[in-house]
Structure 1
Amino acid sequence: MPALNHPRPHTETLANGLRVTLRHAPDLKRCAGALRVAAGSHDVPLAWPGLAHFLEHLMFLGTERFAADRGLMAFVQRHGGQVNAQTCERTTDYFFELPTQAFAEGLERLADMLAHPRMDLDDQHREREVLHAEFIAWSQDAAAQQQLALLDGLSDAHPLRGFHAGNRDSLAVPQPEFQQALQDYYQRYYQTGQMTLSLVGPQSLDELRLLAEAFGNVIAKGEKVAQQAPTPLMAGADNRYQQTGEHRLDLLFALDALPDSSPEALDFLCHWLNCAKPGGLLAELRKQGRAENLKARSLYQFAGQALLHIEFTLPANAPATGIGEQLQDWLGFFARQDWRGLREEYAALRKRQQGVSSALQLARQDSEERETGLSEVGVTALKAILEIIGAVDNFTGPWQLPAPNPFLQSEAAAPNAGLIRGQTSAHRGLRTFAQDRSRSRRERSPMQFSQALPDNTAQGAVYLRWCLEAAPGASLQSRLEDNLQALREDAGQAGVDFSFGASGNQWLLKMTGLQAPMPSILEHALGLLTQPEAALSQLSPARPALMPIRQLLKVLPDHCLELTPESDNLAQLWASARWTGLASGFSTQTQTAMGLVLSRVPGTAETQQAPTPSIHAQHLWSTIETESSEHALLLFCPTATQELADEAAWRLLAHLCQTPFYQRLRVELQLGYAVFSALRQIHGQTGMLLGVQSPNVVAAELVQHIEQFLSALPALVQALDENAFIAQRQALADQFSSAALTTIQAAEMLWQGKLAGRPSDYLMQLPQAILLTDRAALLAAVERLIQADGGWRCLANTPAPGAPWQAIK
């Protein structure tokens, strides 16, 4: 197995004051940059709440050198990357990820937009309306308001109690005083002394340093500015308070005067508090029927302050009394333990997670500049935190330290060929009925081991799909997922992202990440999924509601399958199950180990590929109930045929639409802040997906705006000059080259290709098909899209508007 990336990046401060972290990660196929500005919403003048967030938005409106359609966001979208920004209490982050060959140009655009932001008043007025729409959604979101209410026990003088969201009233764009405050904030904080640039990629450290220096040369030079320290978190002598609500108890600890290493100490403490293994706090509370879940995290950290939040989800009619006392008892037990074993496991899991992190994840982690484990100074800080919290050493509970994560241990050697569990080399040559049956099942196994990805990397992917005679009921599915929760957590810590979900009458088990632990994880998962008692576990607690557009995205795959009756009979569902699978990137050793496990997969082989779902030329409208008053809509437009040429044309069309669609509906029409268009593959069906969430425009009108945009596509395609058309097409094809696709991205495409009946060399054929798509073929695809030859499927949280839409369940 290749060596994992070094846990610590190279760190230095350039001559102009810019602090940089550089991580050479040779196994990555992409690069990422994260720029942290040491200033946030708590650093703005009290008269102008939301100013920091407003400035963050203004940064993306284009510059004199790079207009919006050539700026960072549009550039990243054209190259299939990721880009975003976030304003927090004391920091503002800008981050993006791109293929290696495009990274330098992306970094150039980031530097230019930070150094020369557009401050045009008309742009400010339009962007203020976008922030106001966000504010309305935030003020109506129950989870966001619940989060805000958690701060009610803090001192009124602390900035956490202030209003910082920003809206039409607080952002007084026309006033000269506001404009002066905006300029003052920008000039004070957007300079090298206040910035940390984190770069991650396969380039050498010298190459990364040259990129960092070029970035720093564009940014205004400056000195580090001391951010004003806040007042104490609580006004009196108390440092804790609690809040109770329906099915929940929130305990909060306000911690002041903490040592420098307290962030890593709090991370360590929260990790073990959240552990659900036997002997821990959550396991004991579940046994007593007092709590169903526990989530510990730090809500805020700055200048030696931290707000530790521990949330307990309670069963119906269960009192909250006594939980705080048991927490204190567990903390007393924890404070008395020798943490060496826990520190070793914690460092191992952090290293594993780092080994499977994307370039963007690594860059964002590096910008935090935290230790990967718990250092010696972190141990000292943890002891201080426990003392402040009031952990005493006279604990009485039946506590014990958690059992080690079995998937973090060094992998055992692969079994000898021809032997089954319990045999040794002395048994070689002996055949048993069980062994014959196992071998026979592997020979006709519906699992396909793809050769499309290299087998000499540490990562791999496994997909297992079962088609059932009935859809699993929501209650059964929830209980099955709850039974897998502990396994999912152990797997994640060991570097494997594990999921098991249902769409209609299909189950999909998916694993991506480090391939070595996957056979063992799959074996454990199959045992849990086929145990009869799996259906008898406790009902899971209610989960927080998602924003409407996310709710629609979550259920879209369900609505792309035919409606089937539901069943909660686990045994009958498994008896009817037909399964198929795909594994990618596996070494010979992992494939051998996986073969033994696959012989135990429940169900029968799916001998015939199910046809890809099709709605032909229909206009189908599904209404989804959401709790929000905002209007949300998804429009999924599948390809007219399953031909690869059609997929290539649709991909190119989606590629060309991203920026104009966003520009038209979000910037020009200001319909809402959640606006996107993209290419999606769902159950093997390729299609264009367009989404909008609006606070005041109803779904029927949103559809009309989308139709108007689509009707203008022929003119948009015709307006592209030949050089721009060729460049856009090449940029899209490059996204699917072997040098650009990560193992996880390639595996997902191979799986969708398998469902669509694509050949084994799909990943080689697709970029070639894209390059063969000429303007005439693209215009033909536009016409098929407008005419809905492949059908249109709409999901919205309001009823269908009438013909040509057909309302369905």
Structure 2
Amino acid sequence: MRAAVFLRRWRLSRAGLLVMLLLMAAHAQALVPIKGDIDHRDYRYLELENGLKVLLISDPQAEKAAASLDVHVGHHQNPLGREGLAHFLEHMLFLGTEKYPEPGAYPAFISRHGGSHNAYTASEHTNYFFDIDPEYLEPALDRFAQFFIAPRFNPEYVDRERFAVESEFKARLNDDARRIHDVYQALMNPAHPAARFGVGNLTTLADTEERPLRADLIDFYQRYYSSDLMSLVVLGRENLDALQKQVTERFKAIPVRDVSLPEAYPPLFGKDQLPMRVSIEPEKDLRRLSLLFPLPVSAESEAHKPLHYIGHLLGHEGEGSLLSLLKELGWAEGLSAGTRHRDRHDALFQVSIELTELGVRAADQIVALVFHAIKQIEARGLDAWRYEELQQMANIDFRFQEVRSPVETVRGLAHRLHLYDPVNVLWGDYRYAGYDARLIKKYLGYLNSGNVLVSLVAPTVEGNVRSPYYQAPYRVDDQPVEQPAIKARIQKQLTLPKPNDFIPTRLAVKEAPLLPGPGASPTKAPGLPEAVVDKARIKVWYQWDQEFEVPKTSMRLRLKLPRVAGSVEGATKAELLSELVRDQLNEFAYPAQLAGLDFSLRPNTRGLDIEIFGYSSRQNLLLTRIVEALRKGRFEQDRFDDLKRTVARRWRNEALDTPYGVIARQVPRLHFAPYSLGRDKLRVLEGIDLKAIHQFADSVLKDAELEVLLYGNLYRQEAVRLAAYLEHQLLGDLTRQDLAPARVFRLKSRGPWVYERPLEHDDSVTMLYVQGLSTELDDVAHMQLARRLLQPAFFHELRTEKQLGYVATVFGLPLKDQEGTVLVVQSPSVDSDRLWREMDGFLAGAEIHLKEGLAEQKTALVRELREPAKTLYQQSDRYWEGLMMGDTRFDRRERLAQAVEAVTADSLQAYYRKVFADPARRLWLVTDRSEEAPAAKVIDAIPDYQKALEALSYP
């Protein structure tokens, strides 16, 4: 970063900067990290006497307080024969401490006070985090600190939690990402810790007399959970001094231990092992070619980002790019390049290409093209101006970086405290320390044909070996160092990116608009969006942003299209059309995306949604190109064929998603119309050809209606001009075809019902869908409060105590304004019938949980509903959600908050008895069902089921 920019961030004179640097060098107890221009939060970094790194964040406006502690150990530290121990320890720390011994006490406290908690274990990081109502931060920290001071490791729960880890392992056996990684680990140098299985299962966590699991667990904790390997980030409404006092008092007791970690790791792959080719058979219909290059990493590479530079050029998607050429050849659908699997010393640089069926057969030529692209960068791609573009865009993004949620903030920063100096912890991901051609050449040197693992994933692969834990079939072959020759005409099509014209140059936030009339003066814009155009077929809502002070605008358009909403065929064609338009625009739009200007074009049950968000200066140009592509609707046959196969694969793969996710999608299929699952659309896809898509594109805008929200850094007159353009371009002829109404089907006391959906997975799933009594906000308030109170008890009883499965959760599933709640358990060891009975038994005695913490949950929910948006995008989301719900006064959140305040213990218990405790109001969804299953009305035909229900209609 240039010195002037650096000084502006610090807001110090040169002399002041020198003084600050001297102070930092002499005494690193209270540093202030560099922050962006619009960041209103206050920061302080310090180290406690035990070496714990601490970052404090004061945000008086925070909707939640939050904390995260990151331990700089993980899978890589697992002992031999105890694979998964770090992950198992992560589970165990939630199950009681000496000061707070009850296993469910911590999650219950967090949930009761409006919060959430979780953790994850990575290769060299184990991260624990929570958020909570701000006034409960201090007691939450008191409980949280005890994880790292005095956990109990209760022998009973040591035994039980092994089965939770086993359930988590089995739940992802069909997950291709884990299966592929399992193959890579099997091929790595076994002396490198990256080769070790990370998740764990009953075998690796066996508890025997010869090797007691609890003893190994305690030994691991006492060996590695040392304060000087930890970083803590705490965000609260208090000032920094108050936060420092809270943290110091509680976390200074974490012991510092004598930890010995290796100065370096053995090579990721053994001597003479590379180059190598591996072919892997996936569970889903995937086709992917990856080139993985092992290389070292360092603080220098983090600061100067040579691998980001290389990844930017290899992964570019604009005109003349590697991806553009591969698409033209009919070989690829997508490409990414960048660092993966980073640890303290090593990383893999990975180039991944999503292949077509033809691309699978051309894998050798594609590998050759990748190496040709690398050589092109070496020969002609090392330019200071290219680096400065990345640096300039990163500086702009950092200047105008909007705040993330408290829990996202602390979780990310706790991890980054191990990567960057404290002063750069906020800036580190955006910091490009300076162009260094030598360093870029050094890393390009690792991307050579003798240092590569080439991985091909395709359904046609026939493996002769299976990976050790996920049983993925694979085959290892020689990978030649010499590459096939590339024809000269093909080489000429591969060019380096041109200068990016989308990088914003006008970054001023527009001044307040003037009041019309004599003596005009600046005034604040209206507090809520106003309808600047209100016609039969187009309505445009506008608001100038007066709060967030960023040069960005959010444009959201919903096209209501009778030819999409009327049938499964229309929905199928809309998805194909969207794919084709996005593909056609990709070369043009990719530089805009790099410059902070994103767009999406997505089908929905009513038509199409278009969204553009980012820096305002070039948005109109991008919008114009999107509209032109949609109106023109003409595509090449080869791209149509490739993308038709792409969407077909995606729809087929839906059935192989996470089991409880597959079952959850059946709820809207049963209770909302029009709604099509992938398998519904597959039935009509085969009959759609390019001519049919062209005809569809010609007619789809006929009878269209358009609703638009323009919010951000633009004036009213600009919004009116845009509205006129959109009306002229997007509203086709009127042929009087009406938009089919949307319908929500209401459950009443006619059940219980059961719908069986078998899965291609060994786990069983039982899901219960409970629907509110009405669409009134009083009903919504009672449903949301009941759900919040039931979730921790449901998890504790069915997951922690009974160990029925890793997934045991309660979540909301509203359909339009009809509130709904889902309770679900996914189990590797218990069939759906038993899960049904266990859930039934829970509900029979769950009313007692409605009394525990109702006041706190009411306070938490009301605060969430009334909490102002934190970013321009979040505010745009809220306005758009209101418009889609028909809330043109934009006060639904406030009215719901008032309804929550009016809920009493008596009214909530009465509501529970009517809604949750009434078996006749239940819809059960199961993956398997026996003759001994609980009695229920079986849903054989969805149309017949829907006819038996009352329907609410929506325009």
Query: Normalization by structure 1: what TM-score?
Result: 0.84
2:443 to 385, 393, 397: 385
Residue correspondence of structure 1 range 380-419 to structure 2 within 5 A: 381-390=439-448, 397=492, 398-401=494-497, 403-404=499-500, 406=502, 408-410=504-506
* Aligned counterpart, 1:344: 391
**Matched-pair contact (CA < 8 Å) for 1:353–1:495:** no
Structure 1 range deviating more: 67-76 or 94-103: 67-76
| Structure 1 residues 300 and 587, CA gap change in structure 2 (3 angstroms) | closer
Structure 1 residue 363: deviation in Å?
A: 2.9
Q: Distance in 1 between matches of 2:719 and 2:574?
A: 28
Deviations 1:668-708 (A, max 9, x none): 22221112112343333221122222213333443333333
Structure 1 residue 133: deviation in Å?
A: 1.2
* Aligned counterpart, 1:615: 746
Q: Distance in 2 between matches of 1:698 and 1:511?
A: 46
* Aligned counterpart, 1:738: 867
Q: Distance in 2 between matches of 1:278 and 1:177?
A: 60
**Matched-pair contact (CA < 8 Å) for 2:326–2:332:** yes
Q: Distance in 1 between matches of 2:922 and 2:828?
A: 24
Structure 1 residue 148: deviation in Å?
A: 1.8
**Matched-pair contact (CA < 8 Å) for 1:710–1:786:** yes
Q: Distance in 2 between matches of 1:385 and 1:592?
A: 51
Q: Distance in 1 between matches of 2:44 and 2:618?
A: 30
* Aligned counterpart, 1:533: 634
Structure 1 residue 53: deviation in Å?
A: 0.6
Deviations 1:182-210 (A, max 9, x none): 21211122221110123456665545544
| Structure 1 residues 410 and 309, CA gap change in structure 2 (3 angstroms) | same
Q: Which amino acid aligns with 1:784?
A: K
* Aligned counterpart, 1:309: 350
* Aligned counterpart, 1:255: 295
Deviations 1:137-156 (A, max 9, x none): 33343331122223444323
Answer yes or no: is 1:589 the counterpart of 2:714. yes
3-state SS of 2:206 partner: coil
* Aligned counterpart, 1:235: 270
Answer yes or no: is 1:691 the counterpart of 2:827. no
* Aligned counterpart, 2:367: 324
Answer yes or no: is 1:446 the counterpart of 2:539. yes
| Structure 1 residues 785 and 614, CA gap change in structure 2 (3 angstroms) | same
* Aligned counterpart, 1:265: 306
3-state SS of 2:204 partner: coil
| Structure 1 residues 252 and 489, CA gap change in structure 2 (3 angstroms) | same
| Structure 1 residues 61 and 416, CA gap change in structure 2 (3 angstroms) | closer
Structure 1 residue 615: deviation in Å?
A: 1.9
Structure 1 residue 119: deviation in Å?
A: 0.5
Structure 1 range deviating more: 279-288 or 567-576: 567-576
**Matched-pair contact (CA < 8 Å) for 2:674–2:742:** no
| Structure 1 residues 161 and 221, CA gap change in structure 2 (3 angstroms) | closer
**Gap regions ≥5 residues in structure 2:** 1-35, 281-285, 421-427, 451-485, 515-530, 685-692, 943-955
* Aligned counterpart, 2:463: none
Deviations 1:300-352 (A, max 9, x none): 22343212222222211331012222212222232342133333255147527
3-state SS of 2:81 partner: coil
* Aligned counterpart, 1:141: 175
Q: Which amino acid aligns with 2:506?
A: S
* Aligned counterpart, 2:217: 182
1:283 to 314, 321, 324: 324
Structure 1 range deviating more: 793-802 or 105-114: 793-802
Matched residues, percent identical? 23
* Aligned counterpart, 1:52: 86
Residue correspondence of structure 1 range 98-177 to structure 2 within 5 A: 98-175=132-209, 177=212
Q: Distance in 1 between matches of 2:805 and 2:101?
A: 22
* Aligned counterpart, 1:198: 233
Q: Distance in 1 between matches of 2:129 and 2:322?
A: 37
Residue correspondence of structure 1 range 468-487 to structure 2 within 5 A: 468-471=565-568, 472-474=570-572, 476-478=574-576, 480-481=578-579, 483-484=581-582, 486=586
Q: Which amino acid aligns with 1:337?
A: L
**Matched-pair contact (CA < 8 Å) for 1:408–1:493:** no
Structure 1 range deviating more: 344-353 or 407-416: 407-416
Structure 1 residue 283: deviation in Å?
A: 1.5
3-state SS of 1:376 partner: coil
* Aligned counterpart, 2:849: 716
3-state SS of 2:336 partner: strand
| Structure 1 residues 482 and 575, CA gap change in structure 2 (3 angstroms) | same
Structure 1 residue 784: deviation in Å?
A: 2.4
* Aligned counterpart, 2:835: 702
| Structure 1 residues 678 and 259, CA gap change in structure 2 (3 angstroms) | closer
Deviations 1:359-411 (A, max 9, x none): 3333333222352233238765433211222499x996531225527264435
Q: Which amino acid aligns with 1:400?
A: L
Q: Distance in 1 between matches of 2:49 and 2:38?
A: 31
3-state SS of 1:690 partner: strand
Q: Distance in 2 between matches of 1:76 and 1:649?
A: 20
Q: Which amino acid aligns with 2:722?
A: V
3-state SS of 2:352 partner: strand
3-state SS of 1:96 partner: strand
Answer yes or no: is 1:640 the counterpart of 2:758. no
* Aligned counterpart, 1:677: 810
Q: Which amino acid aligns with 2:659?
A: P
Q: Distance in 2 between matches of 1:460 and 1:102?
A: 36
Structure 1 residue 123: deviation in Å?
A: 0.7
* Aligned counterpart, 2:798: 665
Q: Distance in 1 between matches of 2:897 and 2:230?
A: 39
Answer yes or no: is 1:551 the counterpart of 2:662. yes
* Aligned counterpart, 2:483: none
Q: Which amino acid aligns with 1:672?
A: G
Structure 1 range deviating more: 627-636 or 455-464: 455-464
Q: Distance in 1 between matches of 2:566 and 2:259?
A: 65
Structure 1 range deviating more: 122-131 or 792-801: 792-801
Structure 1 residue 292: deviation in Å?
A: 1.9
| Structure 1 residues 222 and 461, CA gap change in structure 2 (3 angstroms) | farther
Q: Which amino acid aligns with 2:331?
A: R
2:412 to 344, 357, 365: 365
**Matched-pair contact (CA < 8 Å) for 2:566–2:739:** no
3-state SS of 2:672 partner: coil
Structure 1 range deviating more: 197-206 or 283-292: 197-206
**Matched-pair contact (CA < 8 Å) for 2:296–2:345:** yes
**Matched-pair contact (CA < 8 Å) for 2:59–2:236:** yes
Deviations 1:582-634 (A, max 9, x none): 56xx3573555444334416358999996762323165655556432322344
Structure 1 residue 527: deviation in Å?
A: 4.0
* Aligned counterpart, 2:700: 573
| Structure 1 residues 670 and 751, CA gap change in structure 2 (3 angstroms) | farther
Q: Which amino acid aligns with 2:502?
A: P
Q: Which amino acid aligns with 1:597?
A: L
Structure 1 range deviating more: 607-616 or 89-98: 607-616
| Structure 1 residues 117 and 69, CA gap change in structure 2 (3 angstroms) | closer
**Matched-pair contact (CA < 8 Å) for 1:299–1:309:** yes
Deviations 1:772-807 (A, max 9, x none): 111221122112213669954555545797732424
Deviations 1:650-671 (A, max 9, x none): 1111111110111122112222
| Structure 1 residues 105 and 295, CA gap change in structure 2 (3 angstroms) | farther
3-state SS of 2:267 partner: coil
Structure 1 range deviating more: 213-222 or 108-117: 213-222
3-state SS of 1:735 partner: helix
Q: CA RMSD in A?
A: 4.2
Q: Distance in 1 between matches of 2:327 and 2:108?
A: 49
Structure 1 range deviating more: 50-59 or 541-550: 541-550
**Matched-pair contact (CA < 8 Å) for 2:334–2:354:** yes
1:88 to 96, 99, 122: 122
